[in-house]
Amino acid sequence: METAGLVAELVAAYRGGPAPLVQMGDPVLRRVAETVDGQVGAELLEELVEILFATMRSAPGVGVAAPQIGIPLRVAVLGDPASVAEEVAVARGRRPLPEFTIINPAYTAEGDEVGFYEGCLSMPGYQAVVARPESIRATYEDLDGTRHTQQLTGWPARIFQHETDHLAGIVYIDKAQTRSVTTNEHLQQRWAQPTPAEAARALGFPLP
């Protein structure tokens, strides 16, 4: 089925959302998503974005990419209330990120890499340390087709990279330090410190 048909089918089934999240092992998570270039009408695209936001809030999560609900398009939504302790927020550069839509996004690194635990709604139950540039230059379009360029740092930069990677068929575990992989339960019990330095020493993986 063509992409427009997939979107129409999804919207008909889950208008207003949320939609079920695709889990690891589904080929759509490993495909390079299509550039948005008029193949889906504006109204249908807007309804897809509404479903993405509803899915993100319901999960809850800080971002969802279209492939995570079965749609191979370069569209994602982001938003983070950053409801974490102050020492965690400072260590991770985590600050509230207002909800917004990214269409045909890309990014270039502008800072040194830092490693932190992250997870994925399409691979629940586990997290792993991923080294990512702390600062990026992000580009994307909004629903009106306006192109934006924005410098992002800290956790907002990490979220943007994570969701943009999804659109290239890349899941966070592809970039992770595999020795750092932990269940969510162990993460909370053992490795909930503001940085993963203690986990790196105990589990034997390098940090940038």
Q: To which H or E segment does residue 165 belong?
A: helix 154-166
Kind of pairing, strands 113-118 and 126-133?
Answer: antiparallel
The C-alpha atoms of residue 143 and residue 147 are separated, in whole angstroms, by 10
The C-alpha atoms of residue 105 and residue 165 are separated, in whole angstroms, by 10
> Which residue from 49, 18, 52, 29 is spatially nearest to 122, judged by alpha carbons?
29
The C-alpha atoms of residue 48 and residue 55 are separated, in whole angstroms, by 11
Q: Which residue has the tokens 């909800």?
A: 99
Q: Which amino acid is at 174?
A: D
The C-alpha atoms of residue 107 and residue 164 are separated, in whole angstroms, by 8
Hey, what are 155's tokens?
Answer: 């956790």
The active-site residue, picked from 47, 118, 134, 163, is: 163
Q: Which amino acid is at 59?
A: A
Angle CA(133)–CA(103)–CA(90) in degrees, nearest 5?
35
163 carries an active-site annotation: yes
Residues annotated as catalytic (active site), given as ranges:
163
